[in-house]
Amino acid sequence: MASQLVESSVAESVLAVAMANGGEFAEIFAEDRRSTSAGLDDGRVEQVTSGRDRGAGIRVVVGETTGYAYTSDLTERGLETAARAAAAAAKGGGKGVKVVALGSPSSHPVNNIDIDPTSVAKARKVELLLEANEAARSVDGAIVQVSAGYSDARREILVANTEGVFATDAQVRTAFRVSVVANGDSGMQTGYESLGHTMGFELFDRHKVADVGLAAANQAITKLRARPAPSGAMPVVIKCGSGGVLFHEACGHGLEADLIAKGASVYRDRVGQLVASPLVTLVDDGTMSGEWGAIGIDDEGNPSQYNVLIQDGVLTDYMWDYLRARKEGHKVSGNGRRQNYTYLPMVRMTNTYVLNGTEDPEAIVRDTPNGVYVAKLGGGSVNTATGDFVFGMTEAYLIENGQITEPLREGNLIGNGPQVLQDIDLLGNDFAMGSPGTCGKDGQGVPVGDGQPTLRVKSLTIGGTAA
Amino acid sequence: MSSLQEIVDRVVGQAKPGEQVEAFASRGGETSIRVYEGEVEHFVSAQSEGIGIRVIREGRTGFAYAGTLDESAIAEVLGEARDNVAFGTPDEWAGLAEPDGVEPVPQVLWSDALEQFPTAKKIDLAKELERLAIAADSRVRVDEADYQDGWGEVAVATTTGIRRAGRENAANVSVGTLAEDGEDTQTGFGFSVGRDPALFDLQKAAREAADRATRLLGAIKPPSKKVTVVLDPYVTAQFLGVISSTLSGEAVIKGRSLFANRLGEVVASPLITLIDDPTNPLAYTATDLDGEGLAARRNMLIEAGRLNQFVHSSYSARRAGTSSTGNAVRGGYAGGTPGAGCLAMQLAPGTRSQEQLIADVSDGVLIQMVQGLHSGVNPISGDFSTGASGLLIKDGKIGAPVREFTIASTLQRMLMDVVEVGGDIDWLPSRAAGVSLVINDVMMSGE
């Protein structure tokens, strides 16, 4: 590596300053993020944006208290000022001397970046927008508006702490999105499709942006003839690669050790118990090469891991960050993440998915006399303490007599996590990852992935308007 | 250290002939304290800064930003923004705001008392709030009690003659509660906001957090049927937030507003008068300037049910053939070209209390919380569907608590189906004030 974000000797002396008030643990998290984005709307490339965010956060832990300060000044002086502020905030009582020798940082890349996006001409990025726009508009005269966005970011991080963790990672993410408005007799409808991976510009050798535009346009056109969604509880079949957000909300958040510790999760004290249908094996996997939630190390410097959360319906473990693991005498699980250097890390998911079952996905629909088929889910949210969660359906159809029939207008579905996990009664063999997501928790957003095979929940409440 | 105004003036001074340049710089700080079981769980204290530069040449726009005000970095940002211009599509309406002669209404946005408020007292406030919430009800635990404050100063300058600077600060305390009864757990929250922490009403915040959670204990899943909903002021504020995107001039010119081409028409019940008024000092988001540095002003959006006007930035106004309404909204220094949006909405209140409104409802639900406004509501199609919890209303009386259901309609219909606006206006910490709202014919989906 040409130049390290923070030199080893500087990191050592800053950690010593952070511990000078008698801290028990100190950490430097340094970050340098360069990004490029370009947006098209209304037929025009509106703006190309270049961004640079660079800084470091210093954390000091004394007893149950964490002090945190951050700075955009990565010089030794800037870091030491932040270290003193963090130490003061943690209110360490005495005087401490802790010397840590860091050596060279380690790195644990989960995938190679073939084409660094910063090496690609901006003109090429803008061309992608125009290609997607053209493809979407070619679908139907009813397409009245298209917006498209391209973004790439290279995020270099370095973490050093007083327990000797010293690691770096370069996280490159590239993404593309298209949203479309179609206008018909019954008013306007929208379509949305996105693509995002932890990889470089090779993303566009593997996926065509025109396909993203076509998918978004077709979704909007289909919805022009949508009828109001039904209201009430009924069987719901969720297409592979569209419904991982269900698990993210129904149980993912509830398995985060910080929420468990405060008793704010319905999954507290449930390890070793059957919490889901025995068909369900749920994994959180930060090592999943190329996926949107993939990371070499988490934002506490620990290598990402493949963590089994639920095995054949039985809860096997929660997800952990440094503080929770330290408190409970557990091992960290590579789930300590933060939005950027201005935030404290928390327990967060990475790529969360359900492993394949054995059913033929077409048979799942055929075996469902009446219900709803969800082909594309939107966002969701959960109250982890009650387990009640919602998620939006952005493309859905009625199932009548075992056949997918008419498209439905948008709406939310609502369920209770533990109940819905038990109610999964058919699991397909067609696993696929879904669209890139941004998971929000306590005001911080981090990139996450999700995935699942086609599955059926025997009863979920559809929030439509039709009786 | 240079003042922000000097920094942005220097950038604009480097504009080349034929170039429009806008520089927006900000500096700010925050204190964030979380208390748990009587101890400080975390204490965050820090400052940040940044600059965003927009360059427009021959109708093409380029933008760049950096999270620093370091002089060499600023030079790089200007260079990047210029470089990015070449890739934009020419747009005959592209351009910066120009001074329009409207004088800003002065607002008190800064408090010396808050600036000088001692750290120890900030910690005490969070500890006291936690203690009060626990004391409010034996079934209540607290999972987070927070004190937060922040200050920020901004400056903007353009080659078109805009030159403005300002600063503001604010603080809040909030508490999250868990009420437990046997196997049943429900959650609540309470808060107090303002510029003088000495005036925070901790008792009220604690009481509300405990009530919200305990009221829902024993909640059942209701049947599916059409009902009348009474939206709690907090929920109405969120509902208005959804409505606001349909009133954005930018959504209108780009064909994304379901109210496009409907100016002058009846779009809501005659009881609905919707105003965007950031000059009202009671509004939490009261401000003197919009995101482009023009004076913020009072705009009547819907008057007695009739659509009166949209809100505009200078760009959307130019395209719509009108003038900016002072509603440019900027997403900080990294935000690029400002959009057009509401700044401080309020419904003209009615006269009666929530209790009186409920007394007239024969079969309904008081909606206390909604969940999933971002996932089941589409402001372009108008489809509205959200998870909810609250209390059943039967023959004018509050009944059983209910949860795990949705309420659904369309935005168009809900505005027409409003049967009463309460008199209980509440200046909540959001872009819209809250008020109780009664809406007929909403589909409740449960069992």
Read off the pLDDT of residues B187-226 as tens digits, 9 standing for 90 and up.
999 999 999 999 999 999 999 999 999 999 999 999 999 9
Would the CB atoms of A262 and B143 count as touching at under 8 Å?
yes
Residue B110 has pLDDT above 70, yes or no: yes
Q: In chain A, which segments carry CATH 3.30.2290.10? A: 117-154+170-224
User: H or E element: which one contains A215?
Assistant: helix A209-224
Does any CB of chain B come closer than 8 Å to the CB of residue A188? yes
Q: Which residues in chain A are closer than 8 Å to B444, comparing Cβ atoms?
A: 231
Would the CB atoms of A344 and B42 count as touching at under 8 Å?
yes
The CATH number fitting domain B4-214, selected from 3.40.830.10, 3.90.1720.10, 2.60.40.420, 3.30.2290.10? 3.30.2290.10
| Least Cα separation, residue A264 to chain B (angstroms) | 7
Compute the distance between CA of residue B293 and CA of residue B8 in angstroms, rounded to an integer: 13
Compute the distance between CA of residue A466 and CA of residue A234 in angstroms, rounded to an integer: 13
Looking at residue A93, its pLDDT comes to: 57
Largest CA distance in chain A: 74
Name residues whose C-beta falls within 8 Å of residue A99's C-beta, 6 or more positions apart in sequence. Answer: A12, A16
Looking at residue A100, its pLDDT comes to: 78
Compute the distance between CA of residue A450 and CA of residue A436 in angstroms, rounded to an integer: 8
Compute the distance between CA of residue A71 and CA of residue A85 in angstroms, rounded to an integer: 10
Helix pair B4-12, B71-85: axis angle to 10 deg: 40
Would the CB atoms of B48 and A72 count as touching at under 8 Å?
yes
Read off the pLDDT of residues B238-269 as tens digits, 9 standing for 90 and up.
999 999 999 999 999 999 999 999 999 999 99
Read off the pLDDT of residues B347-400 as tens digits, 9 standing for 90 and up.
999 999 999 999 999 999 999 999 999 888 999 999 999 999 999 999 999 999
Contact criterion met (CB below 8 Å) for A10 and A76: yes
Which residue from A65, A69, A412 is facing B385, i.e. has the nearest CB? A412
Among residues 301-330 of chain B, which lie with CB inside 8 Å of chain A? none
A110 — pLDDT class (breaks 50, 70, 90): confident
A134 — pLDDT class (breaks 50, 70, 90): very high
Q: Which residues in chain A are closer than 8 Å to B143, comparing Cβ atoms?
A: 262-264, 385
Looking at residue A94, its pLDDT comes to: 59
Q: Which residues in chain A are closer than 8 Å to B79, comparing Cβ atoms?
A: none
Would the CB atoms of B254 and A41 count as touching at under 8 Å?
yes
Would the CB atoms of B256 and A463 count as touching at under 8 Å?
no
Does any CB of chain B come closer than 8 Å to the CB of residue A271? no
Looking at residue B426, its pLDDT comes to: 95
Compute the distance between CA of residue B195 and CA of residue B109 in angstroms, rounded to an integer: 8
Share of chain A above pLDDT 90, in %: 90
Q: What is the mean pLDDT of residues A282-306?
A: 97
Q: Which two tokens stand for residue B92?
A: 């005959």
> E strands within A24-105?
25-41, 44-62, 65-71
CB pairs under 8 A between A and B: 264
Q: What is the mean pLDDT of residues B413-442?
A: 97
Residue B438 has pLDDT above 50, yes or no: yes
How many residues in total does chain B contain?
447
Would the CB atoms of A392 and B64 count as touching at under 8 Å?
no
Q: Which residues in chain B are closer than 8 Å to A52, comparing Cβ atoms?
A: 65-68, 73, 76-77
Read off the pLDDT of residues B155-165 as tens digits, 9 standing for 90 and up.
999 999 999 99
Read off the pLDDT of residues B31-60 as tens digits, 9 standing for 90 and up.
999 999 999 999 998 889 999 999 999 999
Q: Which two tokens stand for residue B329?
A: 């909204």
Mean pLDDT, chain A, integer? 95
Residue with tokens 């901790």: B202
Read off the pLDDT of residues A329-384 as tens digits, 9 standing for 90 and up.
999 999 999 999 999 999 999 999 999 999 999 999 999 999 999 999 988 999 99
Looking at residue A1, its pLDDT comes to: 42
Which residue from B42, B143, B408 is facing A68, i.e. has the nearest CB? B42
Contact criterion met (CB below 8 Å) for A128 and A176: yes
DSSP category for residue A118 = G
| Least Cα separation, residue B403 to chain A (angstroms) | 8
Does any CB of chain B come closer than 8 Å to the CB of residue A128? no
Would the CB atoms of B67 and A72 count as touching at under 8 Å?
yes
Would the CB atoms of B42 and A66 count as touching at under 8 Å?
yes
Which residue from A47, A69, A123 is facing B46, i.e. has the nearest CB? A69
Name residues whose C-beta falls within 8 Å of residue B87's C-beta, 6 or more positions apart in sequence. Answer: A38, A45, A48, A122, A123, A125, A126, B60, B62
* CATH hierarchy code of domain A117-154+170-224: 3.30.2290.10
Which residue from A68, A393, A465 is facing B408, i.e. has the nearest CB? A465
Torsion sign (Cα): A282, A283, A284, A288? negative
Q: Would you call A30 helix, strand, or coil by DSSP?
A: strand
Read off the pLDDT of residues B312-335 as tens digits, 9 standing for 90 and up.
999 999 999 999 999 999 999 999
Read off the pLDDT of residues B279-293 as tens digits, 9 standing for 90 and up.
999 999 999 999 999
- Strand B306-307's sheet: what is its strand order? B306-307, B299-303, B274-276, B345-347
Helix pair A122-138, A209-224: axis angle to 10 deg: 30
Looking at residue A96, its pLDDT comes to: 59
Residue A254 has pLDDT above 80, yes or no: yes
Q: Which two tokens stand for residue A105?
A: 């940082």
Helix pair A76-90, A8-18: axis angle to 10 deg: 30
Amino acid, res. B400? A
Q: Which two tokens stand for residue B172?
A: 């809040």
Query: What interface predicted TM-score (ipTM) does this complex get?
Result: 0.93
Read off the pLDDT of residues A402-417 as tens digits, 9 standing for 90 and up.
999 999 999 999 999 9
Residue A301 has pLDDT above 70, yes or no: yes
What are the residue ranges spanned by the domains of chain B?
4-214, 219-447
Compute the distance between CA of residue B407 and CA of residue A426 in angstroms, rounded to an integer: 29
Q: Which two tokens stand for residue B364?
A: 């309904």
Q: Which residue has the higher pLDDT, A92 or B421?
A: B421
